[in-house]
């Protein structure tokens, strides 16, 4: 059985997104201050900020699970919706991180690499959606 190239690219996108987001989500749930220090070079300073960081971790964990389960039914409309949602998430995440870096002055070692990864994933999502449309 031959795997069509667009399908294998979409599977790779979903798996890579799953791996990145489940890792980040778990770390935000368990040790949020560490992730914040890598991204922003600052520490969480209030109980409220820990709650919000952990909620963000839970959201990323959930996005990762959506991508994982979408791997099982790669050609469905639901998977197309997940890829479209991940496009918007990646664009917004990159914009927030870049604004934090260039307008708010945060300068963590991970902020620019994370921004670049989100931009690359957004581009990959668009290419995947176009490939899904052409099938």
pTM value surpassing 0.85:
yes
The encoded tokens of residue 43 equal 């520490």
Radius of gyration of the chain (CA): 16
**DSSP state letter for 31:** -
The packing angle between helices 5-30 and 32-40, to 10°, is 110
Please report, for residues 13, 84, 92, the alpha-carbon distance to residue 69 in angstroms, rounded to integers and kept in the order given: 13, 15, 23
What tens-digit pLDDT sequence spans the chain (135 residues)?
444 566 788 999 999 999 999 999 999 999 999 999 999 999 999 999 999 999 999 999 999 999 999 999 888 899 999 999 999 999 999 999 999 999 999 999 999 999 999 999 999 999 999 988 776
């Amino acid at each position: 059985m031959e795997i069509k190239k667009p399908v294998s690219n979409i599977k790779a996108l979903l798996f890579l997104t799953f791996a990145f987001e489940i890792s980040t989500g778990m770390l935000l749930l368990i040790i949020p201050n560490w992730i914040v220090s890598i991204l922003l070079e600052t520490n969480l300073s209030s109980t409220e900020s820990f709650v919000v960081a952990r909620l963000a971790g839970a959201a990323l964990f959930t996005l990762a699970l959506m991508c994982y389960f979408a791997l099982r039914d790669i050609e469905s409309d639901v998977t197309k919706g997940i890829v479209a949602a991940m496009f918007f998430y990646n664009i917004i995440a990159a914009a927030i991180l870049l604004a934090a870096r260039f307008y708010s002055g945060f300068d963590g070692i991970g902020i620019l690499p994370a921004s670049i990864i989100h931009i690359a994933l957004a581009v990959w999502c668009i290419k995947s959606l176009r490939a899904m449309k052409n099938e």
